[in-house]
Amino acid sequence: MVKVMTEIHLLEAKINKVPVDPVDSTQAVYDHYEKLLFKDLGITQDQYERSFNYYVDNPNEFEKIYNAVVDTLMEKEQRYK
């Protein structure tokens, strides 16, 4: 789940930099790349949503996962500086 959430955050950051107007178009671009991301990671949208909902219902575990996501993103940021 850490890898999936990390990749989703990176995708969101990339999409937010794309100058697409209107907002509906941005969502369409995001949805397209999210499908590709899930395919690359070997999971389905449903698997991701069920897993995400599990962690939302278990906040202590979600906090651990999210801390690992933040750590991973910070490591990636340091490598690209």
Amino acid identity of residue 43, one-letter, is: I
Check pLDDT > 70 for residue 46.
yes
Record the pTM. Answer: 0.84
| pLDDT computed for residue 23 by the predictor | 64
Note the residue count of the chain: 81
Check pLDDT > 80 for residue 19.
no
SS3 14: helix
Domain with 26 in it: 2-79
- Compute the mean pLDDT over every residue in the chain, rounded to the nearest whole number: 91
- Name the most confidently modeled range: 7-11, 14-18, 20-24, 76-80: 7-11
Domains: count for the chain: 1
Mean pLDDT score, 14-31:
79
| pLDDT computed for residue 2 by the predictor | 95
- Tokens matching residue 56: 């939302």
Q: How confident is the model at residue 74 (pLDDT cuts 50, 70, 90)?
A: very high
